[in-house]
Chain A
Amino acid sequence: MALIEKVDGIVEMYGSNPGGLIAILQDIQDEYRYLDREAIIRVAHDLKLPVSQVYSVANFYNAFSLAPTGKHIVSVCLGTACYVKGAGLILDRLEREMEIKIGETTGDRLFTLQGVRCLGCCSIAPVITIDGEIYGEIKQERISKILESYK
Chain B
Amino acid sequence: MSIEIKDLDKIKESGFKSLNPDSLRITVGMASCGLATGAQKVFDALVEAVKGSGLDARVVRVGCIGYCEKEPLVEVTGPELPRICYPDMTPERAGELVKSLAVGNYREDMALFRASKDNAAEPPGEVKDIVAFDELPYFKRQKRYVLDNAGVIDPENIEEYIARGGYSSIGKIFKEKISPEDVIETIKKSGLRGRGGAGFPTYRKWESARRAGGYPKYVICNADEGDPGAFMDRNILESDPHSVIEGMIIGGYAIGAGQGIVYIRHEYPLAVKRLGLALKQAREKGLLGRDIMGSGFDFDIGMSRGGGAFVCGESSALIASIEGKVGEPRPKFVHMAESGLWECPTVLNNVKTWASVTNIIRKGAESFSQIGTDKSKGTMIFALVGKIKNTGLVEVPMGIKLRDLIYEIGGGIQGDKKFKAVQTGGPSGGCVPEKLLDLPVDYEALTEAGSMMGSGGMIVMDEETCMVNIAKYFLNFTMEESCGKCTPCREGIKQMYEILDRITKGEGRPEDIETLETLGHIIKETSLCQLGGSAPNPVLTTLRYFKDEYMAHINEKKCPAGVCTALIEYSIDADNCTGCGLCLKNCPVNAISGEKKQTHTIDPAMCIKCGICRSVCPFEAVILK
Q: Is the CB of A120 within 8 A of B323?
A: no
Cβ–Cβ contact B321 & A84, under 8 A? no
Of all chain A residues, the one with the shortest Cβ separation from B67 is A123
B553 to chain A, nearest CB (A): 17
Per-position binary interface string of chain A over residues 47-90, scored 1 when its CB falls under 8 Å from any chain B CB and 0 otherwise:
00000000011001111100000000000001111111100010
The reply to whether B68 and A79 form a contact with Cβ atoms under 8 Å apart is no
Complexed CA–CA distance, A120 and B266 (Å): 14
Q: Is the CB of B615 within 8 A of A57?
A: no
A85: which B residues are within 8 A, CB to CB? 386-387
Check B386 against A21 for contact (C-beta < 8 Å). no
Q: Tell me what chain A mostly uses at the interface: helix, strand, loop, or mixed.
A: helix
- Nearest CB on A from B31, distance (A): 8
**Is A98 an interface residue, CB under 8 A from the partner?**
no
The answer to whether B308 and A62 have CB atoms under 8 Å apart is yes
Contact check, A61 vs B327: say whether CB atoms are below 8 A apart. Answer: yes
* A63 touching B473 in the complex, CB below 8 Å, given contacts A120-B231, A123-B391: no
In the complex, the answer to whether B323 meets A19 with C-beta atoms within 8 Å is yes
- Interface residue? B71 (CB, 8 A): yes
> Are B326 and A60 closer than 8 Å at their CB atoms?
yes
Q: Cβ of B616: which chain A residues have Cβ within 8 Å of it?
A: 141
Known: A19-B323, A20-B324, A139-B615. A63 touches B37 (CB 8 A): no
Nearest chain A CB to B413's CB is how many angstroms away? Answer: 12
Q: How far is the CA of A113 from the CA of B307 in the complex (A)?
A: 19
Q: Is the CB of B230 within 8 A of A118?
A: yes
Residue A136 at the B interface, CB < 8 A?
Answer: yes
Which residue of B has the minimal Cβ distance to A59?
B326
**Cβ of A116 < 8 Å from any Cβ of B?**
yes
Chain A residue at minimum C-beta to C-beta distance from B325: A57
Which chain B residue lies CB-closest to A92? B610
Closest chain B residue to A135 by CB distance?
A: B36
CB atoms of B610 and A140 under 8 A apart = yes
Closest B residue to A23 by beta carbon equals B305
From known contacts A63-B308, A81-B386, infer whether A122 and B423 are also in contact, taking CB-CB under 8 Å: no
Please report the C-alpha to C-alpha distance between residue A119 and residue B34 in the assembled complex, in whole angstroms.
12
The interface residues of chain A lying within 8 Å CB-to-CB of B33 are 120-121, 123
Q: Mark A122-138, 1 if CB is under 8 A from B, else 0.
A: 11110100000010100
Tell me whether A26 is interfacial, beta carbon within 8 Å. yes
Are A81 and B588 neighbours in the complex by a CB distance under 8 Å? no
State the CA gap A136–B229 with chains docked (Å).
15
Which residues from chain B contact A127 at a C-beta distance below 8 Å?
36
Q: Does B69 contact A (CB under 8 A)?
A: yes
User: Chain A residues with Cβ under 8 A from B227's Cβ?
Assistant: 80, 118
A122-B68, A123-B68, A134-B36 known; A93+B234 contact, CB < 8 A:
no
Chain B residues near A56 (CB-CB < 8 A): 326
CB of A45 closer than 8 Å to a CB of B:
no
A125 to B230, CA, bound (A): 13
User: B267 an interface residue at 8 Å Cβ cutoff?
Assistant: yes
Q: Does A41 contact B (CB under 8 A)?
A: no
A80 touches B386 (CB 8 A): yes
Q: A120-B32, A123-B385, A124-B37 are in contact. Are A22 and B307 (CB under 8 A)?
A: yes
The docked-state distance in angstroms from the alpha carbon of A64 to that of B36 is: 25
Interface size on A, residues (CB 8 A): 44
**What residues of A have a CB within 8 angstroms of the CB of B610 in the complex?**
89, 92-93, 140
Tell me, yes or no, whether B392 is within 8 Å of chain A by CB. Answer: yes
- Nearest-neighbor residue (CB-CB) of B268 within chain A: A120
Q: Which residue of A lies closest to B563 (CB)?
A: A88
Q: How close is A12's CB to chain B, nearest CB, in angstroms?
A: 16
A82 to B327, CA, bound (A): 27
Residues of chain B within 8 A (CB-CB) of A84 are 386-387, 459, 461, 465, 470
Give the most central of B36, B68, B306, B470: most A CB within 10 Å. B36
- Give the residues in chain B near A17, CB-CB below 8 Å: 324
CA of A85 to CA of B460, assembled, Å: 11
Contact (Cβ within 8 A) B307 A78: no
- What residue of chain A has the Cβ atom nearest to residue B270's Cβ? A120
Question: Once the chains bind, are B326 and A123 in contact (CB under 8 Å)?
Answer: no
Chain A residues, CB < 8 A from B71: 123
Instruction: Give chain B residues whose Cβ lies under 8 Å from the Cβ of A18.
Output: 324
Inside 8 A of B324's CB, which chain A residues have their CB? 17-22, 57
A96 interfacial contact with B, CB 8 Å: yes
Q: How distant is the Cα of A26 from the Cα of B387 in the complex, in angstroms?
A: 36
Q: Are B36 and A61 in contact (CB under 8 A)?
A: no
Minimum C-beta distance from A89 to chain B (A): 6
In the complex formed, the residue of B with least CB distance to A116 is B267
**How many whole Å from B537's CB to the nearest CB in chain A?**
14
Contacts of A117 in B (CB 8 A): 228-229, 267
User: Which residues between 216 and 255 of chain B lie within 8 Å of chain A, taking CB atoms?
Assistant: 227-231, 234-235
B456 in contact (CB, < 8 A):
no
As a 0/1 sequence over residues 349 to 391 of chain B, the CB contacts with chain A under 8 angstroms (1 = contact) are 0000000000000000000000000000000000101110001
A26 touches B307 (CB 8 A): yes
The answer for the CA separation of A78 and B477 in the assembled complex, in Å, is: 10
Known: A56-B326, A78-B228, A80-B457. A64 touches B465 (CB 8 A): no
Which of chain B's residues have a CB closer than 8 A to the CB of A62? 307-309
Q: Which of A20, A60, A61, A121 contacts B37 (CB 8 A)?
A: A121
**Min CB gap B622→A, angstroms:** 14
Q: Are B266 and A124 in contact (CB under 8 A)?
A: no
Task: Give the complex CA separation of A122 and B267 in angstroms.
Answer: 16
Which of A92, A116, A118, A141: most chain B Cβ within 10 A? A118
Question: What is the chain A residue whose CB lies nearest that of B228?
Answer: A117
Chain A, Cβ-Cβ closest to B391: A123
User: Which A-chain residue is minimally distant from B269 (CB atoms)?
Assistant: A132
| Residue of chain A at shortest CB distance from B31 | A120
Contacts of B32 in A (CB 8 A): 119-121
Q: Is the CB of A79 within 8 A of B305?
A: no
A-B contact list, 28 entries, CB within 8 Å: A19-B323, A22-B307, A22-B321, A26-B307, A57-B326, A60-B309, A60-B326, A61-B306, A63-B307, A79-B229, A80-B385, A80-B426, A81-B385, A81-B386, A81-B391, A84-B386, A84-B387, A84-B459, A92-B608, A116-B267, A120-B36, A121-B37, A122-B68, A123-B69, A123-B391, A127-B36, A140-B588, A140-B612
User: Given A82-B229, A119-B32, A119-B36, 6 more contacts at CB 8 Å?
Assistant: A20-B324, A61-B306, A61-B309, A80-B385, A80-B473, A120-B234
Interface residues of B (CB under 8 A from A): 31-33, 36-37, 68-69, 71, 227-231, 234-235, 266-267, 304-309, 321-327, 383, 385-387, 391-392, 423, 426, 457, 459, 461, 465, 470, 473, 483, 586, 588, 608, 610-612, 615-616
The 4 closest A-B pairs by CB, nearest first: A61-B307, A80-B229, A121-B36, A123-B391
